[in-house]
Structure 1
Amino acid sequence: MNSYSRHGKLVRNRIPQIIRDGGTEPVFYTAGRGEYRSRLRDKLGEEVAEFLAADDDVAPEELADVLEVVRALAADLGVGEDQLEKIRAAKTAERGDFSDRIVWTGNR
């Protein structure tokens, strides 16, 4: 029994069919709205941890997984990709981005 057998794990839409194609019958259910949001937050943590542990060869794939979860979370909050981009751009205009690699160490 794996660690998800009792509690479940949020997976991508095609995973049940991929499991069937592999010759096994998956057991799954559709989460309600509140559970879905909670599981998306958990999934974000899982995907970020996988990204942080990945070497440079695998990191782009893991980062894409993080982005997929971020998009799902935004959609669940009623925020479309265009609106999310506008929010990101406004924050960048106000506070900048990370391209200058500035590390703050405190104040004097």
Structure 2
Amino acid sequence: MGKLVRDRIPDLFGGQTRLLNGEEYQAALRAKLEEEVAEYLQSGEPEELADVLEALRRAKADARGGFAGRVWWTPA
């Protein structure tokens, strides 16, 4: 059974990969968030929160984009 992983994980550990479509990606992000929250709640380790924030950051960037385009916007 597969799961959403960080980009370099397949390079480090092998396995098969495929790109997710938009709906699959959103579902995978939610599952990843649930997984990371459960890990934090089980371990109590603060560094587990970094993975939670990463999943949330990706979801927001997917919905609204990131800052790589260096777009400056002035509202009408």
When normalised by structure 2's length, the TM-score is: 0.79
Q: Would you say 1:41 and 2:45 are equivalent positions?
A: no
Percent of aligned pairs sharing the same letter: 49
Q: Does 1:9 align with 2:3?
A: yes
| Structure 1 stretches lacking a partner, 5+ long | 20-24, 82-108
Q: Are residues 26 and 70 of structure 1, via their aligned partners in 2, closer, same or farther at CA, if it must alter by over 3 Å? A: same
- Cα distance in 1 for partners of 2:46, 2:65 equals 24
- CA-atom RMSD, angstroms? 1.6
Q: What does residue range 8-87 of structure 1 map to in structure 2 within 5 Å?
A: 8-19=2-13, 25-55=14-44, 59-78=45-64, 80=66
5+ residue gaps in structure 2?
68-76
Higher RCO, 1 vs 2 (CA within 8 Å, ≥6 residues apart): 2
- How many residues are aligned here? 67
Compute the displacement of 1:26 (Å). 1.0
Task: Give 2:52's aligned amino acid.
Answer: V
**Normalised TM-score (structure 1):** 0.57
Structure 1 segments of 4 or more deviating over 2 A?
none
**Greater CA radius of gyration, 1 or 2?**
1
Q: Please give the per-residue CA displacement for 1:17-46, whole angstroms capped at 9, x wherever unaligned.
A: 111xxxxx4111111111001100111000
